[in-house]
Chains A and B, each alone.
Chain A
């Protein structure tokens, strides 16, 4: 059994998770990143994606995380994200609406100069990831 380490997941609104974990995986801007105990100290920025926390050999939970960053320290791993939600906290209707809105915006902007295209894309990503995580847990 792998060695546990202390994990803190914090958003500006609340402390999302604090406790021992065996491994954690997040979506960083460089790709999916998994961390276990004894990882080299590092810092990376997070994209929108799935936060997978394994607390022991049999328990694994998936949650949604928004942009943020991860800091791996010798004694502790910090994940700070603008928003984190367990699947049961995700409002699927809201995510679906946001997805449609973002898609409409993207379709409109395609013709114009792509100034804020990045933001619509991120919004679309957020909505789609939320829905994906929701469906993963219910299905």
Chain B
């Protein structure tokens, strides 16, 4: 059995670890809350853009747009959004496994990663990401998203890629997250509708009389890239919220098991301490008994000395 000072040392180190996991838990909780605000903001932007595009397509008839039409080619570009750090439970694993599975089936010509865990994951598998963005999710900057999408849309325009897809983790609530894939180009508007609540004012408001200035086609041209930028930005915010939520849960578990471990070790510590004391007492008593026994044996052997 371990001795007292070993156990004391062990308890101390577990306590320190517990402090770290507890701090990380609180930091993730705060970050998650911030990210949730971001989701709400972005949602209103994105759905407005989407509504307008759907309106234009519904009410103006024979307009089509290269970004909405399917092409024959099969060259796919992927954007993969993952975490910046580990220690977040199954978050990174889940999204990267999904990305691997989906990419295995397609002719992937380009990979773009957001988050360093994804970058190193692809490097390990011998795929060099064409461009990677680190620390973007922590503080999403719209101009960086715009830059990324500008490059990709340009490649789509000149036919270097025929499809653009994104893999990210969608935040549903603090207990549920779902890694998912979304096709961005060519855009399938019905897909985007997911998670959209119907608004009552839509029904009273006849949208077919809306004036498009200068023309529906030009508004559409300007809006589609913006819709995509809004979506990718939203995906990054979702992924960041999911990452922190996942880390929060993982760290909460770690803190709890550290507590359990400390309890167990403390019990063990007391047991060992008491055992040591008992042993020492037994030694002392044994020694005292032995001494007494010796003394009384002496007295028995030399009874005359006592009388002297």
A residues neighboring B (CB under 8 Å): 10-15, 28-30, 33, 40-45, 67-69, 71, 73-75, 78, 80, 82-83, 115-116, 119
Q: Nearest 3 pairs between A and B by C-beta?
A: A45-B222, A42-B211, A30-B214
Given contacts A12-B42, A13-B140, A30-B213, 11 further A-B contacts (CB under 8 A): A11-B41, A11-B45, A11-B142, A12-B41, A12-B45, A12-B230, A15-B41, A41-B210, A44-B213, A69-B52, A71-B48
Q: Are B154 and A115 in contact (CB under 8 A)?
A: yes
**Do A116 and B154 form a contact, CB below 8 Å, given A80-B48, A82-B229?**
yes
What is the minimal beta-carbon distance from B224 to any residue of chain A, in angstroms? 10
CA distance A77 to B111 in the complex (A): 40
- Would you mind naming 5 contact pairs between A and B with Cβ atoms under 8 Å apart? A12-B41, A29-B219, A40-B211, A41-B207, A42-B210
A131 to B154 Cα, complex, angstroms? 28
Is B192 interfacial (CB 8 A cutoff)?
Answer: no
Docked CA distance A43–B49 (Å): 10
Indicate whether B304 reaches chain A with its CB closer than 8 angstroms.
Answer: no
Q: Given that A10-B48, A69-B49, A80-B49 are contacting pairs, would A43 and B213 also be in contact in the complex, using a CB cutoff of 8 Å?
A: yes
B305 within 8 A of A: no
**Interface band, chain B:** 35 or more
- Chain B positions 128 through 150: 1 when the CB is less than 8 Å from some CB of chain A, otherwise 0: 00000000000010110010001
Using known A-B contacts A43-B212, A45-B218, A69-B222, determine if residue A12 contacts B48 with beta carbons closer than 8 Å.
no
Q: Are B41 and A13 in contact (CB under 8 A)?
A: yes
In the complex, the answer to whether A28 meets B205 with C-beta atoms within 8 Å is: no
With a cutoff of 8 Å between Cβ atoms, the chain B residues found around residue A80 in the complex are 45, 48-49
From A40, A74, A78, give the contact of B48 (CB < 8 A): A78
Find out whether the CB atom of B212 lies under 8 angstroms from the CB atom of A42. Answer: yes
CA distance A84 to B226 in the complex (A): 15
Q: Whole-angstrom distance between the alpha carbons of A11 and B143 in the complex? A: 12
Note all chain A residues with C-beta closer than 8 A to B56.
43
Contacts of A42 in B (CB 8 A): 210-213
Please give me the residue from chain A that is nearest to B46 by CB atom: A12
Closest to B41 in A: A14
